[in-house]
């Protein structure tokens, strides 16, 4: 296990990757004119309007804005908030929360850029369904548009390989099984089997069906979690100043609760905080854009703004609330980690009934997270297969029915070998590093396209600058023609 920790924290999640994330976040923040700070009213007005209003008649896409955000948020708001944040605090101490929030602030504009590019370069099939994501803007933006050959293929391969690892090293089944089993004194493997069956039922209808289900479950799920967390924090309001002091102070010296990184150095604290932030809000990972690319919208930046809102909700709001609950209740130094630590903190703040209710909520979080990841990987499979045909449908069906199995296998292996939660979470960190590297480099190379899209959006909808009537709002001609008829 010590060797795996060294591989993850010194190589995959070493300081070069952390500094790359910080650099890309600062780069897009500056080149976008500090968009996530200067246009907060417009961000919230646009996001809430798209979520609770009707999509504009004639907008092309597979999912409504609410459905797209619900699937994407369902995939991000889940085990990363409940198990990942807890593990970050247990391993890196309260100081890890500081870097988690910093990554969230910078991640807002990173998510905006990748979502916007995914919508701009997306494919529209004959049946009207739209698909896109990093592999699409890598192949079109760097390959087809610039005429590059080797670099796009290498980046696409790294992204697909790294993201594919997450198919086998998925954390959702484990986190849910751990939470439910410890709460109701059940066997983890039994819980895992039940979860697998429920996941099969969830994904059986495909992407459009997932959108409708997620739009019903996710908003309720998030509101319930926020209300429970705020209750615990308000109840322990007197401890809040001390909690903030530990977060800020520990950010630069470290005070881990568990072994391994006990007395963690600054580099370890920032690495664990950044990695958990990315696993939670997925900014820079390239996963959420694969869902947002299917959304109905008249401009890529408009959907990109929902990406900002998604990160804000996930990290700045939900992860912060989770962190404060764990710290103000004093459970952060209990020796627990993962979902068990979060559940224990809520139990301390609300009582055993609160733990039972939250454990049930974790089941919903896990199901929506797993189904969201299913939809994301489906986009990669479709990219690799190319145009629709009968053979492709058979392969997609095979993928659908095999998707839940690796999660079940991971639980069986962890239980049989008595692996601690912190060890299992190392698998999650391994699965994020490679696609993040490939995606961030691609975003940097395509930053000029994003800035042009943002300039056009400001001119059209914010009255900043002049509108260029010849500007292509979508890369593919068929989408351009459809947009011109809005």
Residue 63: helix, strand or coil by DSSP?
strand
Q: How would DSSP label each residue in 195-237?
A: HHHHHHHHHTTHHHHHHHHHHHHHHHHHHHHHHHHHHHHHHTG
Residue 122: helix, strand or coil by DSSP?
coil
pTM: 0.80
Give the tokens for residue 381.
Answer: 């499979």
- Phi first, then psi, for residue 72 (nearest 5°) are -65, -45
- Phi first, then psi, for residue 256 (nearest 5°) are -70, 150
Give the tokens for residue 406.
Answer: 């690796």
Give dist(CA 434, CA 160) in Å, integer: 9
For 4-15, what is each residue's pLDDT tens digit? 566 555 656 667
pLDDT band (50, 70, 90) for residue 242 = very high
For position 1, what pLDDT does the model report?
A: 52
User: Which residues fall within 8 angstroms of residue 356, CB to CB, at 6 or more apart?
Assistant: 183, 184
Domains delineated in the chain = 2-50+59-478 (1.20.1740)
Q: What is the DSSP letter of 131?
A: E
For position 163, what pLDDT does the model report?
A: 78
Contact yes or no for 297/49 (Cβ under 8 A): no
151 by Cβ neighbours in 10 Å (0-12 / 13-18 / 19+) ranks as middle
The DSSP bridge partners found for residue 130 are 124
Residue 285: helix, strand or coil by DSSP?
coil
User: Which residues fall within 8 angstroms of residue 64, CB to CB, at 6 or more apart?
Assistant: 55, 211, 215, 295, 296
Percent of the chain surpassing pLDDT 90: 24
For 373-399, what is each residue's pLDDT tens digit? 787 788 788 888 876 667 788 888 888
Contact yes or no for 71/286 (Cβ under 8 A): no
For 59-112, what is each residue's pLDDT tens digit? 555 566 666 666 555 555 666 677 778 878 887 888 888 988 888 899 999 999
- CA dihedral (392, 397, 398, 400) positive or negative: positive
For 437-486, what is each residue's pLDDT tens digit? 899 999 999 999 999 999 999 999 999 989 998 898 998 855 444 444 44
Q: What is the DSSP letter of 130?
A: E
Q: How would DSSP label each residue in 459-480?
A: IIII--S---TT--SSSSHHHH
The DSSP bridge partners found for residue 123 are 131
Contact yes or no for 8/430 (Cβ under 8 A): yes
Residue 59: helix, strand or coil by DSSP?
coil
């Amino acid at each position: 296990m010590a060797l795996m920790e060294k591989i993850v924290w010194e190589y995959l999640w070493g300081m070069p990757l952390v500094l790359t994330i910080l650099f890309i976040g600062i780069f897009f923040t500056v080149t976008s004119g500090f968009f996530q700070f200067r246009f907060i009213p417009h961000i919230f007005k646009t996001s809430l309007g798209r979520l609770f209003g009707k999509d504009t008649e004639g907008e092309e896409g597979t999912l409504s804005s609410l459905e797209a955000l619900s699937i994407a948020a369902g995939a991000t708001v889940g085990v990363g908030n409940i198990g990942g944040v807890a593990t970050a605090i247990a391993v890196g101490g309260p100081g890890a929360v500081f870097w988690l929030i910093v990554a969230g602030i910078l991640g807002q504009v990173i998510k905006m850029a990748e979502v916007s590019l995914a919508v701009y370069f997306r494919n529209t099939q004959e049946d009207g369904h739209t698909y896109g994501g990093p592999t699409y803007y890598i192949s079109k933006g760097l390959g087809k548009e610039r005429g590059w050959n080797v670099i796009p293929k290498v980046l696409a391969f790294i992204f697909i390989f790294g993201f594919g690892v997450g198919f086998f090293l998925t954390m959702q089944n484990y986190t849910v099984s751990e939470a439910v089993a410890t709460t109701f004194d059940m066997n983890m493997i039994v819980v895992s089997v039940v979860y697998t069956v429920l996941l099969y039922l969830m994904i059986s209808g495909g992407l459009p069906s997932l959108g409708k289900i997620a739009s019903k479950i996710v908003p309720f799920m998030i509101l319930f979690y926020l209300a429970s967390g705020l209750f615990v924090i308000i109840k322990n309001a007197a401890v809040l100043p001390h909690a903030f002091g530990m977060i800020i102070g520990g950010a630069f010296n470290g005070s881990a609760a568990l072994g391994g990184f006990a007395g963690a150095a600054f580099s370890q604290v920032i690495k664990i905080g950044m990695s958990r932030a990315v696993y939670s809000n997925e900014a820079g990972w390239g996963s959420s854009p694969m869902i947002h690319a299917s959304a109905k919208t008249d401009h890529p930046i408009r959907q990109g703004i929902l990406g900002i809102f998604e990160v804000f909700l996930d990290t700045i709001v939900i992860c912060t609330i989770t962190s404060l609950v764990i710290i103000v209740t004093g459970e952060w130094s209990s020796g627990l980690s993962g979902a068990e630590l979060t559940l224990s903190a809520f139990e301390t703040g609300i009582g055993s009934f609160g733990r039972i209710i939250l454990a049930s909520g974790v089941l919903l979080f896990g199901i929506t997270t797993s189904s969201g990841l299913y939809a994301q990987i489906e986009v990669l499979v479709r990219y690799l297969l190319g145009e629709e045909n009968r053979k492709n449908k058979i392969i997609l069906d095979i993928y659908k029915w095999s998707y839940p199995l690796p999660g079940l296998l991971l639980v069986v292996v962890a239980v049989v070998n008595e692996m601690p939660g912190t060890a299992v979470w190392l698998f999650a960190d391994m699965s994020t590093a490679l696609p993040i590297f490939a995606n961030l480099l691609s975003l940097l190379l395509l930053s000029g396209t994003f800035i042009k899209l943002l300039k056009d959006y400001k001119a059209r909808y914010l009255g900043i600058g002049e509108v260029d009537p010849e500007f292509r709002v979508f890369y593919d001609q068929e989408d351009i023609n459809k947009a011109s008829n809005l």
